Structure 1
Amino acid sequence: MTAPLAEDFRAVMAGVATPVSVVTTLTDGHPHGTTVSAFASLSMSPPMVLVSLDRGSELLARLDHGSVFGVNVLASDQAALALAFARKGSDKFTGVDWVADAGAPRLTGSPGWLACTVSRLVEGGDHVIVLGEVHRAATTEAAPLTYHARTFGTHAQVA
């Protein structure tokens, strides 16, 4: 991508508000996770979601067809958690409360939870789109954490 196009593309995408989630998995009993803002519902029948992971993602290296992963949809007061899971390294779960739920790490306090099985990995430029079939879902009421204009925020209803 040319430099001007890359800058314009980044500027346009910064104007799109996205949900912030932490995608997790267990490998040999050890939790792994990363923050994503490219997450969306895909299908209601069967229930499916998609998440986009950088090709160099440590989490992506642990996922394959049939792998179990979780999507922890974050609340507006969980920006510090989003930042902790956005960094590189294997100690992201240090000091983080979590439980294994349906085979994947569920972060305590996250208002949205989806346990999924990888049904397909689709290459897309410098990322891989993970298509997941949802086999467990849970939610509690909370304002969502969003990412917009290169900063965290939340959704507000228009009067």
Structure 2
Amino acid sequence: MSAQTETATRLREAMRRTISPVGIVTVDTPEGPRGMTLTAFLSLSMAPPSVAFAVNTRARIHPHLKVGARLCLNILGEGDVPSARAFGGEVAVERRFEAGDWRMRAGDQPSLGSAVASLQLEVTSCAAHGSHELCTAKVTNVELGPSQMPLLYGHGQYMKLADLTPA
């Protein structure tokens, strides 16, 4: 095993040991709505309101990530595990939107009714780095969902905040 491969393997294991919130990024395409589960996202700025997220360049949604593209980042709640699993690849692409209460509003990208929040986005930049592309996006609208704890991912599984032990 090369040193670079070993480092990548160890980095993957290190990152699996962290806890991250879970989201689903969605886009309406000419072929129909598409989306994927992701944990690599964060709040970037409040002025202007913006977020950043990373997507593997092999992901089906990747071709739709261009400057000016409109997307929705749905921040999942504890009850959204079926949607997270569906959009994580356990369900065929054309059937993923059957998992959850998806809203297809004119002028917006698909949003999940049960999400903690759904952020309508406009991509402002994308930069390739290795196997992924890091994108920034301006938040054009925020729809707050039911008051609930966010769904988390850590140690290779979905988790609830109540499952964690306080420090």
User: What is the match of residue 100 of structure 1?
Assistant: 104
Q: Give the alignment of 1:100-119 within 5 angstroms.
A: 100-101=104-105, 102-119=107-124
* Counterpart pick for 1:126 among 131, 138, 146: 131
- Runs of 4+ off more than 2 Å: 1-4, 94-97, 154-159
Confirm or deny that 1:81 pairs with 2:89. Answer: no
* Counterpart pick for 2:93 among 90, 95, 108: 90
Q: Which has the higher strand share?
A: 1
Identity of aligned residues (%): 26
Q: Which has the higher helix share?
A: 2
8 Å Cα contact 2:70/2:121 also seen in 1: yes
Task: Tell me the distance in 2 between the aligned counterparts of 1:103 and 1:29.
Answer: 16
Segments of structure 2 that go 5 or more residues without pairing to the other structure are: none
Taking structure 1 as the reference length, what is the TM-score of the superposition?
Answer: 0.91
Aligned-pair CA distance for 1:152:
0.7
User: What is the match of residue 53 of structure 2?
Assistant: 51
Task: Give SS of 2:110's match.
Answer: strand
User: What is the match of residue 151 of structure 2?
Assistant: 145
Aligned-pair CA distance for 1:98:
1.3
Task: Tell me the distance in 1 between the aligned counterparts of 2:116 and 2:80.
Answer: 10
User: What is the match of residue 161 of structure 2?
Assistant: 155
Taking structure 2 as the reference length, what is the TM-score of the superposition?
Answer: 0.87
Aligned residues: 159
Task: Tell me the distance in 2 between the aligned counterparts of 1:132 and 1:60.
Answer: 14
Alignment RMSD (CA, Å): 1.9
Map Cα deviations across residues 42-100 of structure 1 (whole Å, 9 max, x no partner).
11100110111100111111221111100111111211210100117431223543113
